[in-house]
Amino acid sequence: MSRIEQLIEEIEEYIDGCKASPFSNNKILVNREELEELLVELRLRVPDEIKQYQRVISNQEAIMNDARTQADAMLQEAKSQTNEMVNEHEITQAAYSAANQIIDDANVQAQAILDAAVNDANNIRQGAIQYTDDALRGLQNIIAHSVEAAQSRFDAYINEMKQSFDRVTSNRSELYLPQQPQDAAGSAAGAGMETQSGGE
């Protein structure tokens, strides 16, 4: 098992072990530092392993070249054997028949080698693609969980800000309530002084 697979399993186990968020069945509370440590290591590991599988995929060309080399060598050997037979014996129908049979057998074996090489290369490529896709799917799930956790924290922050805003608005409104009776009393006192002044 590669380190990426281990990290994905550790993250999944960590998420499964997190407590559920209050008032929510599909949200959890996570330790940000622990989750970020796992994510940082995962980000560092993914490019290296993807490069490794890309190198494996690129090796299919080397496999094909090796198969062609073996096939060419077999054909060359078959031609060499045919030439030796022609040189050592008279050109007869039997010699031609034997030579043609050797060449046919060499062609069949060469084609079998090429077919096996193509099949092996395709299997390696498909396995590498599947593994990479599984790793990226695991990473996609981790990112989705992270986004969901971030959204939960953002919603909580917005709710706290709204409550603070409401308290500030209420406090501002209360600032002016005690001044209204005082202004009224001051106006009445002023009216009384003007009346006394007029009476005098």
Whether residue 97 lies inside any domain: the answer is yes
Q: For 36-51, write each residue's pLDDT tens digit.
A: 887 888 777 777 767 7
Comparing 190 with 150, the larger pLDDT belongs to: 150
Q: Is residue 167 part of a domain?
A: no
The total number of structural domains that make up the chain = 1
Evaluate whether residue 24 is within a structural domain.
yes
- The pTM score is 0.37
Whether residue 12 lies inside any domain: the answer is yes
Question: Which of 47-56, 91-100, 139-148 bottoms out in mean pLDDT, i.e. has the lowest?
Answer: 47-56
Q: Of 43-52, 110-119, 140-149, 166-175, where does the model show the most confidence?
A: 110-119
Please list, in sequence order, all residues whose beta carbon lies within 8 angstroms of the beta carbon of residue 79, skipping any fewer than 6 positions away.
Answer: 103
CA distance 99 to 86: 9
Q: Are 13 and 106 a contacting pair, CB within 8 Å?
A: no
**pLDDT value, residue 193:** 47
Helix, strand counts (H, E) of the chain: 4, 2
Tell me what the mean pLDDT of segment 24-29 comes to: 72
Around Cβ 48, how many Cβ atoms within 10 Å? 11
Domain membership of residue 98 (yes or no) is: yes
Look at residue 199 and tell me whether its pLDDT is greater than 60. no
Of 15-19, 91-95, 133-137, 140-144, the poorest mean pLDDT is in: 91-95
Rounded Cα distance between 11 and 16, Å, is 8
Structural domain containing residue 84? 3-151
Question: Is residue 66 a part of any domain in this protein?
Answer: yes
Does residue 125 fall inside a structural domain? yes
Note the pLDDT tens digit of each residue in 123-165.
Answer: 888 888 888 888 788 778 887 877 787 788 888 888 888 998 8
**Rounded CA separation 85/22 (Å):** 90
